Copies of this chain bind each other. A is one copy, B any other.
Amino acid sequence: MPRSSKIRTPLVLLNFKTYVEGTGANALRLAKIAEHVSSEIGISTAVAPQLTDIRMIADQVEIPVYAQHVDAVDAGAYTGHVLAEAVKEAGAVGTLINHSERRLKLSEIDEVVRKARSVGLLSVVCTNTAAVSAASAALGPDMVAIEPPELIGTGIAVSKARPEIVTDTVSLIKRIAPKVVVLCGAGITIGEDVKAALRLGTEGVLLASGVVKAKDQSKALMEIATAAVQK
């Protein structure tokens, strides 16, 4: 499976959401922080900015850029939709799919995962339960990111508060589709959270507010990245 092998783990994937601190000029600055942390610590970081910022960031940083969402449409008469080909052309190497803030129909996830594969984008399906993680893995994405929505943005890390949802996800996915890389997210803010996540069998974390909204974004990300390589 050559594409997944392109994913260098542990992966620290930073979702900018639609935070002011992750929009436009702020997005570029934050992406450069992530790039700096990557080269400083020697860890694999990636960023998921808004659609309008993908090209600018992909042009100016070396780390991988992901879209936050892609629609289940082909090129054509789909005004206002997000075309996988357009995201790829702008410089993204992958895309989040079905984030808890942008849930998709099951048939759409199937379509987008296949679409991503066909245009050469890595796919990260976000999930909310172990059963949904298993279901998503059955669709053959590159990665699954388990994120219980009730913990997102709380600073209460899934890897500490709900370890069983992570281990259940890992064990179900390993049974159904062992090549799928498992990430976890929600509430991950400090290095301890990341270490716990990796100990539970994941190969990376999906971060957002813990870094994007931090007073010192660089320091926050540096701490997390340092923990990830120490494991």
* Chain A positions near chain B (C-beta within 8 angstroms): 15, 17-20, 23-25, 48, 50-56, 68-69, 73-83, 85-87, 89-90, 96, 98-110, 127-129, 131-132, 134-140, 152-153, 172, 176, 208-209
Residues of chain B lying within 8 A (CB to CB) of residue A87:
52
User: Counting chain B CB atoms within 10 Å of each CB, which of A18, A132, A176 scores highest?
Assistant: A18
Number of copies: 4
Q: How far is the CB of A182 from chain B (nearest CB, A)?
A: 15
Residues of chain B lying within 8 A (CB to CB) of residue A68:
79-80
Q: Is the CB of A50 within 8 A of B17?
A: no
Q: Is the CB of A138 within 8 A of B128?
A: no
Give A21's nearest chain B residue, CB to CB.
Answer: B75
Residues of chain B lying within 8 A (CB to CB) of residue A208:
77, 79
Roughly how many angstroms separate A176 CA and B172 CA in the complex, as a whole number? Answer: 10
Q: Is the CB of B135 within 8 A of A73?
A: no
Q: Is the CB of A110 within 8 A of B135?
A: yes
Residues of chain B lying within 8 A (CB to CB) of residue A15:
79
Q: Is the CB of A132 within 8 A of B153?
A: no
Q: How far is the CB of A97 from chain B (nearest CB, A)?
A: 9
